[in-house]
Structure 1
Amino acid sequence: MAELVKNPKEMEKVQAEIVGEHGRVTEELLSTMTQPQAAIKEALRLHAPVPMLVPCEAVQDTKLHGYDIPAKTRVLINAWAIGRDEESWEDADAFRPERFVNTNFDYSGKDFRFISFGAGRRGCPGIGFGTRLADLALANLLYHFD
């Protein structure tokens, strides 16, 4: 909500797509909307729920971007820095939800530029519930309030 309040044009785009029936937005209606989900993904890119993901351990000797990482080394992943990396994202510090409209970015961590909830075995088990609830809350707030 804070990012949408700071970017009124983006808020207008999201509000224009939100439809409700009987005075509220339902889960069934969410599947027809792309802008609210895109705004949430963009907010999660800029403001990762956990900036430093759960530490992992290298299972074998690895070379990553010219660095040698020996087996059994604890590796910390900075999701905040990945979400704001200028090499990965065009205009990385700007709030632009349209970068997630009609794309295949999801929360599973298959694209390592967007790992707000981790990836693989270390991924958050509550992704589905949390994101669906956030989508529904945002849509209802923007449906009822300007």
Structure 2
Amino acid sequence: MPQNFVPFLKENARKEMIAVLNERLADTIDLSHAVKQAHWNLKGTGFIGVHELLDDVTANLRNGADDMAERIAMMGGLAQGTSKTVAEKSSLEPYPTDIVKIEDHVAALVERYNAYTTKLREGIEAADEAGDEDTADLFTEVSRAAEKDAWFIGSNSSAAA
């Protein structure tokens, strides 16, 4: 097993945090793939602005996933981010693959972002209860970015009309 660089956590708390981090990692990777699905397939007025926004949003999700995976490794765990694992473990609803209208993609993404940020907040609470302030801070940082991205996506003027 990899070395644990977070020795202050009790073993049961460390294992719990690794599990919670892996759950949110699966959600984060899944959501990043949903955003790319929308990015590739959306059509309509305002296309280029939304298309470019979704590239930035994907980068934010990938950064969050990387931070979660690195935290798992620091705690002596193994990050579980393969496509098969993500498909099995994500708590998010499957993203529709038959939509093209910007408005439909915006609605589908905002719905998933709302579910995602709810799960991140549950992760913050679990980390607080475990006494793991750094994981709570990581989830807070990811949540803050996700809420802002959801706002940007949902506020798209062409989709909100």
Q: Say yes or no: TM over 0.5.
A: no
TM-score of the two chains, using structure 1 as the length reference: 0.36
- Structure with greater proportional strand content: 1
TM-score of the two chains, using structure 2 as the length reference: 0.33
Larger radius of gyration: 1
